[in-house]
Amino acid sequence: MGKSILIINGPNLNMLGTRQPEVYGSDTLADIEAACVARGKALDLTIDFRQTNDEGEMVDWIQAARTDHDGIVINAAAYTHTSVAVLDALLAVEMPVIEVHLSNIHQRDEFRQHSYVAKAATGMICGLGAQGYSLALEALASRLGTNGGSTA
């Protein structure tokens, strides 16, 4: 396969499908992973899909991506709004980063409307549910020039 993409999911996303489906949808994280792997294959991308509830582990994965991956899709969940450490790690890897949120963070509580991740992100997709992950992969494929990605 072509380029390698690290998809990082933050705290509580392991509870998708049962946690506030009216906000986050009914797809489980396993459903989203399967869709990402299938979309990645169509776009000539290798997908490394992970979830953690631990900020330090997330930072370690981001740092390792510098040598192991070509781009990052990140749904940092609560760390989006709180973690300068995640921001600093994303800035340090110097690769395309697409930020994804299942809900529209701009329509939610005021504290959820601020994203530290956005400062390091090439782009952000929010409010489109699980489809946001596929759109993020399409954007990365295009930026990375894979055979499956559009060059628009």
Joined together, the tokens standing for residue 120 give 């390091």
C-alpha torsion angle, residues 124, 130, 133, 139 (rounded to 10): -70
Considering the candidates 69, 101, 116, 133, report the single residue annotated as catalytic: 101
Contact predicate 95/144, CB 8 Å: no
The strand order across the sheet containing 97-101 reads: 45-51, 3-9, 71-75, 97-101, 123-126
Considering the candidates 24, 79, 116, 133, report the single residue annotated as catalytic: 24
**Is 101 among the catalytic positions?**
yes
The residues assigned a catalytic role are: 24, 101
